Amino acid sequence: MNATRQQLQKDVMSIGEDIVLSERFEKAWRVPHHHKKGTIAQHSLDTAGYALRISRWLSRRGVSVNERETVRASLLHDIGMTEDEVFLSPSRIKAYTHPQEGSRIAREEFGVSELQADAILRHMWPIGHIPPHSIEGWVLVAADKCCSIHEIHRAFAPWARR
């Protein structure tokens, strides 16, 4: 792991340690993601790292982003996948149901803010059809896409750097 990624992960932990150490997140380490090449937990941690990077990039350009809201929403954005009935459903259904389930779990089990619950609910845009309301929600959309592209490339492109 390079120094930048290590620092980002440290910063993510300082904001969302309670989430990462929760039983629910523990379950996410056992839920595969992207054709069984990774887990929901690793994807969520990496998405939070990307979100922090994008937030800081925007902040340096005068766009104010609340890092705490963005990182916590990122850590929980796919937590809906840890519900068996969501995970076991076909991909085309799962794409629509996991944001709703995730938003509910985030509220009920982690007491997240309205902004975080809403960002989780809307993170699948444009597949999910409902665009984010907040800059933090847009950062999550971008971070999730960046992270997914990186994961798919790493998993399926034999020439990719590991």
Establish if 144 lies at the interface with Fe ion (CB under 5 A). Answer: yes
- Count of residues in contact with Fe ion, rule CB under 5 A: 2
Number of Cβ within 10 Å of residue 150's Cβ equals: 13
Name the segment binding Fe ion (CB under 5 A); options: 111-119, 128-136, 137-145, 153-161.
137-145
Establish if 78 lies at the interface with Fe ion (CB under 5 A). Answer: yes
Name the segment binding Fe ion (CB under 5 A); options: 19-27, 63-71, 114-122, 141-149.
141-149
Would you say 54 or 60 has its CB closer to Fe ion?
54
Q: How far is the CB of 39 from Fe ion (least distance, A)?
A: 12
**Cα 59 from Cα 56, distance rounded (Å):** 5
Name the segment binding Fe ion (CB under 5 A); options: 19-27, 54-62, 74-82, 152-160.
74-82
Two tokens at 162?
């590991």
Would you say 78 or 118 has its CB closer to Fe ion?
78
Alpha-carbon dihedral sign for residues 80, 16, 112, 117: negative
**Cα 108 from Cα 103, distance rounded (Å):** 9
**Coil vs helix vs strand at 79:** helix
**Cα 129 from Cα 58, distance rounded (Å):** 25
Binding residues vs Fe ion (CB under 5 A): 78, 144
